[in-house]
């Protein structure tokens, strides 16, 4: 994992904004949600002792939970009902029990962003969950994008509500808060970025209008020393176009901005009468296989509308007020200044567009300009890419991954496929990496940097004597790291690491990056007092006992390494977030090394620390409050157990605060997971994650039900293994059921889960898993919750998830994996939830609609909840609270207060008789797949 990836991981876990990987540029700083896991509820009857011990948590009765009682008023403008009979025709949004509401409504922590010189920190403030009215605003669905036409941005964009600045003092502590001020009150803030010298920050501002529509975005600049902000453009008619790129600092005083052309006019009007039929033709007999993309262009009017919103005029704007348009209006997708700020690499897409693939595959042109907009040359013009094979590791033809070398003023590098982009074609080399100067002299040809037999996977640059080139291949999970001397022709490339990407125990780590005087990031070289030079490898440190992150001094030439830092593995989980002792040039001294680390435990939320050498002094720089103190003393354990075929499995077991299994007895339990594919049993059995990580609880997390007295088995590994030439999905159901059986047996054996009160749930592919388990392993679970899933794989005929065979190549696999085809076998209650506007490939809302109809047609106890305006994930407060209410009600009715196993067996028998009388077929033995070991709950 690279240092940037590790930084991003920390960002996701505590919303720490990563440092820019190449240079200070504006990016869509969408406040990320906390990690999403998923939880559930307690049982009152037959649990009197547990209920008395947990009365300070589960204060509402089961009946109150079902009614959604709460002291909190509903959001303004929403219809929130407080009573429900559980029948169809329910009206209004519901609220979950107060103990769940309180956790979800807790104020979110700010996002942090360090200045380029690491001497200041921005605290970017966020709001709680957005109201449904935000999602209800009109949006255009064009070319795979969803566009807010009024703001001319991507729709449903999160935002910040305020910015404050803290100095990082010499002793590592934070100075007093300084608020950025001057912009409109109530503004929504996006795209925050630092100037290269750290003296200014830029950001976009939009203000809600009277009709509750967000206005268009304007670019603002704030002086970091004073906190005073002012608009970048003096003219009120210049707005930001943020459909693709937004703006980037070209130098310390100038930005290049994508703006809405001032002469654009009104949007095109949809013709009242079509000009002709919609025609697609394949008379040339091309083989074009595409996955189930959504929100595609439908006709010429859509194409015109896409052009209207996506077209930008590039503007150079200086802090002194000077403004200069450069280039002609076009659909610019990225603007990238060279490290020396002399050139611009400008990417755009153009017609002909496609009705079957999203805009990322439209014809793409990459040009080189001077920084003031003078055209120099065309780097490539790629044709429409409708025919990229669905096989994993297949890519687009032509030049791809075109970037500036970060260690050179203006040198480009890129990769070109030699197999036509088709992973099924056997050829050597498969990819070639090239580089050349921005303006070649005397007809000089591109230089071959390296030839690869696997698929190119990126480059980490250091200087003229060191670069690391990565290649990988999905089918075999092979990954290699090559050591190159880019500008030393007499030094041959050599393999540094050759391993399986699945083998986390052998991961040596990734190089830490330092900032250069050009504002780019390169591999940091560290010099010891004896003059020896090393690179810093930052690793997750996966071990059979869990992750123990580390920092190694690594000798590229000899392969020797010295561990200079390691996480406390007894109580805490620590990780390296960023290198803080950046220098503008040359090697760094080990005695002056300074790093930013995160630290957390099972009960203590993440805080950030500065670590300095040589004394390895640690200074805490944040003091964030516990986000849900009511669950501060919850119990967490990483448990290990074995599948019947010998594969080692792991899971995180959570128990409510104050729970004692010896005194309180078994609890109702929720199992929440997501399957994964592997090529080997050894890799599938490796431990991932740490037992000491803080349990992040997101707005729809299953861990919320710890507050309702549930045991939660979070993320039990569900490996689907296909060794050698075998495809993993050919034994999907068999391995899925075996994994679930092992998990259930373990929690029952431990005495923490009541064998008749275990629910299963999941989101997306986890919902697919849930439906399959209720169809093929009904003896394990009392009910299920399936959110935003796909259930009929014949509706995704050209591949899904990591399956790259088509329906016609693997018909039996597609059919047997589809729970839709086994709807007649589902006898346990299942709750289906889906966003009405799901935009994820393959998980169309129709999947849940049709699955529910199949279930209803066989008399299954089921419920379908369609959330207006929501997409694949859910974001509006009303929607999320209702999802929690639905889940809580379902678990109370069919897990906590559900029928006993004997009762459910008799119900199943009566259902089978009814189905048989009506022509259905659902014999009792069909509830367990042939050849699987049916283990009665009484024996678990």
| Choice among 38, 754, 858, 872 that is catalytic | 872
Rounded to an integer, what distance in angstroms lies between the CA atom of residue 368 and that of residue 375?
6
- Write phi, then psi, for 259 (nearest 5 degrees): -120, 160
Strand partners, 337: 344
CB 723 within 8 A of CB 680: yes
Alpha-carbon distances of 246 from 29, 255, 268, 369, rounded to whole Å: 11, 10, 24, 18
Number of Cα atoms under 13 Å in the Cβ half of residue 310: 26
Q: Which two tokens stand for residue 303?
A: 């194409």
CB 553 within 8 A of CB 564: yes
Strand partners, 551: 538, 565
838 part of the active site: yes
Compute, in degrees rounded to 10, the torsion defined by CA atoms 336, 341, 343, 348: 20
Rounded to an integer, what distance in angstroms lies between the CA atom of residue 266 and that of residue 258?
19
Strand partners, 369: 344, 375
| Choice among 764, 818, 879, 904 that is catalytic | 764
**DSSP SS3 for 121:** strand
CB 486 within 8 A of CB 460: no
- How many other CB atoms sit within 10 Å of the CB of residue 606? 24
Residues 6+ apart with CB under 8 A from 201: 122, 163, 180, 192, 193, 194, 195, 221, 222, 224
Helix axes 732-749, 765-776, angle to 10 degrees: 80
**DSSP SS3 for 744:** helix
**DSSP SS3 for 448:** strand
Sheet order of strands, 455-463 included: 455-463, 466-473, 478-484, 494-500
As a whole number of Å, the CA-based R_g of the chain is 29
Rounded to an integer, what distance in angstroms lies between the CA atom of residue 311 and that of residue 298?
19
764 part of the active site: yes
For the chain, give the number of residues: 940
Among 204, 167, 172, CA closest to 188: 204
Strand partners, 511: 537
Residue 623: is it exposed, middle or buried by C-beta count within 10 angstroms (0-12/13-18/19+)? Answer: exposed
Rounded to an integer, what distance in angstroms lies between the CA atom of residue 830 and that of residue 838?
20
Rounded to an integer, what distance in angstroms lies between the CA atom of residue 708 and that of residue 430?
55
Strand partners, 566: 550
CB 654 within 8 A of CB 703: yes
Q: Beta strand 111-114 with 120-125: parallel, antiparallel or unpaired?
A: antiparallel
Among 395, 397, 394, 367, CA closest to 382: 397
Among 845, 800, 836, 839, CA closest to 818: 800
Strand partners, 255: 249, 317
CB 674 within 8 A of CB 651: no
Residues acting as catalytic residues: 764, 838, 872
């Amino acid at each position: 994992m690279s240092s940037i990836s590790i930084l991003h991981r920390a960002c996701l876990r505590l919303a720490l904004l990563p440092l820019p990987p190449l240079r200070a540029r504006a990016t869509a700083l969408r406040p990320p949600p906390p990690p999403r896991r998923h939880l559930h509820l307690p049982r009152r009857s037959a649990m009197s002792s547990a209920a008395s011990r947990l009365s300070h948590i589960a204060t509402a009765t089961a009946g109150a939970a079902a009614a959604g009682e709460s002291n909190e008023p509903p959001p303004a403008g929403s219809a929130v009902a407080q009573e429900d009979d559980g029948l169809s025709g329910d009206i209004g949004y519901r609220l979950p029990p107060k103990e769940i509401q309180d956790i979800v409504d807790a104020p979110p922590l700010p996002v942090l962003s360090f200045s380029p010189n690491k001497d200041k920190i921005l605290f970017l403030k966020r709001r709680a969950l957005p109201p449904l009215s935000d999602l209800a605003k009109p949006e255009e669905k064009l070319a795979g994008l969803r566009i807010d036409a009024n703001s001319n941005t991507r729709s449903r964009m999160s935002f910040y509500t305020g910015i404050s600045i803290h100095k990082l003092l010499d002793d590592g502590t934070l100075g007093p808060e300084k608020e950025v001020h001057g912009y409109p009150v109530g503004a929504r803030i996006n795209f925050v970025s630092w100037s290269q010298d750290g003296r200014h920050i830029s950001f976009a501002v939009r203000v809600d209008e009277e009709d509750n529509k967000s206005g268009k975005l304007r670019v603002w600049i704030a002086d970091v020393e004073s906190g005073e902000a002012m608009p970048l453009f003096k003219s009120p008619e210049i707005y930001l176009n943020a459909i693709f790129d937004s703006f980037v600092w070209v130098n310390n005083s100038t930005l290049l901005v994508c703006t809405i052309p001032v002469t654009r006019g009104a949007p095109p009007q949809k013709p009242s009468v079509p000009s002709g039929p919609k025609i697609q033709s394949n008379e040339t007999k091309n083989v074009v296989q595409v996955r189930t993309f959504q929100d595609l262009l439908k006709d010429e009017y859509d194409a015109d509308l896409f052009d209207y919103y996506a077209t930008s005029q590039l503007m150079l704007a200086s802090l002194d007020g000077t403004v200069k348009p450069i280039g002609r209006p076009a659909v610019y997708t990225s603007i990238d200044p060279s490290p020396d700020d002399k050139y611009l690499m400008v990417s755009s897409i153009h017609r002909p567009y496609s009705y079957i693939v999203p805009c990322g595959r439209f014809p793409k042109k990459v040009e080189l300009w001077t920084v003031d907009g003078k055209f120099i040359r065309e780097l490539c013009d790629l044709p429409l890419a409708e025919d990229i094979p669905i096989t994993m590791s297949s890519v687009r033809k032509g030049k791809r991954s075109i970037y500036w070398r970060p260690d050179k003023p203006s040198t480009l590098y890129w990769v070109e496929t030699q197999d036509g982009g088709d992973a099924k074609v056997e050829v050597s080399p498969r990819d070639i990496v090239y580089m050349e100067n921005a303006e070649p002299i005397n007809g000089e040809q591109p230089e071959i940097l390296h030839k690869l037999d696997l698929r190119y996977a990126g480059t980490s640059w250091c200087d003229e004597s060191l670069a690391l080139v990565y290649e990988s291949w999905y089918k075999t999970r092979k990954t290699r790291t090559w050591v190159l001397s880019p500008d030393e022709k007499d030094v041959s490339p050599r393999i540094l690491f050759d391993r399986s990407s699945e083998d986390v125990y052998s991961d040596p780590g990734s190089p830490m990056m330092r900032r250069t005087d050009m504002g780019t990031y390169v591999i940091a070289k560290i010099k010891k007092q004896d003059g020896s030079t090393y690179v810093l490898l930052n690793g997750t440190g996966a071990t059979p006992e869990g992750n123990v992150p580390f920092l190694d001094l690594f000798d590229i030439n000899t392969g020797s390494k010295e561990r200079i830092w390691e996480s406390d593995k007894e109580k805490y989980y620590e990780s390296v977030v960023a290198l803080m002792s950046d220098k503008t040039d040359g090697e760094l001294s080990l005695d002056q090394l300074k790093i930013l680390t995160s630290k957390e435990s099972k009960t203590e939320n993440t805080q950030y620390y500065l670590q300095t050498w040589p004394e390895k002094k640690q200074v805490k720089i944040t003091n964030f409050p516990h986000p849900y103190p009511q669950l501060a003393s919850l119990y967490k354990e990483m448990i290990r157990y074995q599948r019947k075929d010998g594969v080692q499995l792991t899971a995180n077991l959570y128990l409510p605060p104050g729970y004692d299994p010896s005194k309180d007895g078994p609890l109702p339990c929720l199992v929440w997971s997501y399957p994964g594919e592997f090529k080997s049993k050894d890799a599938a059995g490796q431990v991932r994650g740490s037992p000491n990580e803080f349990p992040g609880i997101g707005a729809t997390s299953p861990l919320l039900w710890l507050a309702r007295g549930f045991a939660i088995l979070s993320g039990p590994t569900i490996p689907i293994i296909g060794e050698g030439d075998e495809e993993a999905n050919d034994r999907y159901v068999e391995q899925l059921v075996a994994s679930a059986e092992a998990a259930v047996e373990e929690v029952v054996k431990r005495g923490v889960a009541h064998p008749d009160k275990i629910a299963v749930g999941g989101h997306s592919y986890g919902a697919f898993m849930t439906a399959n388990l209720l169809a093929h392993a009904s003896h394990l679970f009392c009910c299920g919750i399936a959110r935003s899933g796909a259930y009929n794989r014949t509706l995704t005929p050209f591949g899904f998830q990591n399956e790259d065979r088509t329906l016609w190549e693997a018909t039996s696999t597609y059919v047997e994996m589809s729970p839709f085809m086994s709807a007649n076998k589902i006898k346990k209650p299942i709750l289906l939830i889906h966003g009405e506007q799901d935009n994820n490939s393959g998980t169309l809302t129709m999947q849940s609609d049709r699955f529910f109809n199949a279930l209803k047609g066989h008399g299954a106890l089921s419920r379908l909840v369609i959330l207006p305006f929501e997409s694949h994930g859910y974001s509006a407060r009303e929607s999320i609270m209702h999802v929690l209410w639905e889940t809580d009600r379902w678990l109370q009715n069919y897990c906590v207060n559900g029928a006993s196993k004997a009762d459910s067996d008799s119900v199943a028998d009566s259902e089978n008789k009814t189905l048989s009388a009506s022509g259905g077929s659902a014999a009792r033995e069909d509830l367990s797949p042939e050849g699987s070991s049916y283990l009665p709950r009484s024996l678990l």
